[in-house]
């Protein structure tokens, strides 16, 4: 079974530029999550999708961040414009509703550096 | 609100020694508990999880953890560590009922395990 796929793995941009991250979840997983992991910290949830619906985006900074999950499969997270403080690792995870308690499986992450 | 406290930010240990990584949580409802491991420049990999039943949970790579409801703890242990166990370990909690914001993971800040020869 293929894992969660993310691209790109690394991205360096200048502040005020836009950037986008892509995630392909595990096949059959209807729930998709985007997390941000700052240096020395644990991941923090940005947004959670159930199929194509964003069911929890309370922690997403909506002035500059946006996300979409068309057709309930792949997802894209966008930042426009990027700020220095957005430098972090952006992790995508997926899960499905079953007796495993919705165990989340993580991708390798995209490491963003804003200069 | 839920929270997770990992009491040690760094744990140095010699190879083949036992190790315990501590985790305490706070929640007003029943919880699911998880330990994830993160190797350098990689995503998080599930080590083990507690959903219900036996409070002693065994995971991959020889790790185990014990759920203690009265002490709200979920400490991770391994009787003999290897160099390859050097990584960062994250404890996480989610509410025990599916739906809405329940199921979202709240992570601790992580514990860096450094195994020395």
pLDDT digit string (tens) for chain A, length 115 residues? 689 999 999 999 999 999 999 999 999 999 999 999 999 899 999 999 999 999 889 899 999 999 999 888 999 999 999 999 999 999 999 988 766 667 889 999 999 999 9
Residues of chain A by 3-state class (helix, strand, coil), percent to 5: 5, 50, 45
pLDDT in tens, B53-87: 889 999 999 999 999 999 999 999 999 999 999 99
Chain B residue with the nearest C-alpha to that of A91: B43
For B49, which residue in chain A has the nearest alpha carbon?
A103
Nearest to B109 among A41, A99, A108 (CB): A41
Q: Which pair of tokens denotes residue A61?
A: 């900074």
Give dist(CA B73, CA A90) in Å, integer: 28
Identify which of B4, B98, B101 has the shortest CB distance to residue A102.
B98
Does A22 reach chain B within 8 Å, measured CB to CB? Answer: no
Asked if the Cβ–Cβ distance from A108 to B34 is below 8 Å, we say no
Which residues of A are less than 8 Å from B101 in CB distance?
Answer: 48, 56, 58
CA angle B48, B3, B112 (to 5 degrees): 55
Give the span between the Cα atoms of B21 and A66, in whole angstroms.
36
Phi, psi of A59 (to 5 degrees): -100, 5
- Contact assessment for residue A20 and residue A78, using Cβ atoms and an 8 Å cutoff: yes
Nearest Cβ partner for A45 among B43, B100, B104: B104
- Provide φ and ψ at A84, rounded to 5°: -55, -40
């Amino acid at each position: 079974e293929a894992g969660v796929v993310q691209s790109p793995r690394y991205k360096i941009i200048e502040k005020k530029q836009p950037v986008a991250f892509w995630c392909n979840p595990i096949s059959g997983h209807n729930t998709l999550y985007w997390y941000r992991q700052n240096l020395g910290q644990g991941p923090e949830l940005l947004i959670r999708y159930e199929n194509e619906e964003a069911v929890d985006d309370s922690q997403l900074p909506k002035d500059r961040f946006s996300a979409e999950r068309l057709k309930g499969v792949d997802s894209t997270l966008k930042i426009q414009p990027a700020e220095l403080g957005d430098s972090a690792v952006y992790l995508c995870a997926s899960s499905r509703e079953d007796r495993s308690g919705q165990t989340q499986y993580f991708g390798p992450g995209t490491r963003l550096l804003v200069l | 609100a839920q929270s997770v406290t990992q009491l040690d930010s760094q744990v140095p240990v010699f190879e083949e020694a036992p190790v315990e990584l501590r985790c305490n949580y706070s929640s007003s409802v029943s919880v699911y508990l998880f330990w994830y491991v993160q190797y350098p420049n990689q995503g998080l990999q599930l080590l083990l999880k507690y959903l219900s039943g036996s409070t002693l949970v065994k995971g991959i790579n020889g790790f185990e953890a014990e759920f203690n409801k009265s002490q709200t703890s979920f400490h991770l242990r391994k009787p003999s560590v290897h160099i390859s166990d050097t990584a960062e370990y994250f404890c996480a909690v989610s509410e025990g009922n599916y739906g809405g914001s329940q199921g979202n993971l709240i992570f601790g800040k992580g514990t860096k395990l450094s195994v020395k020869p």
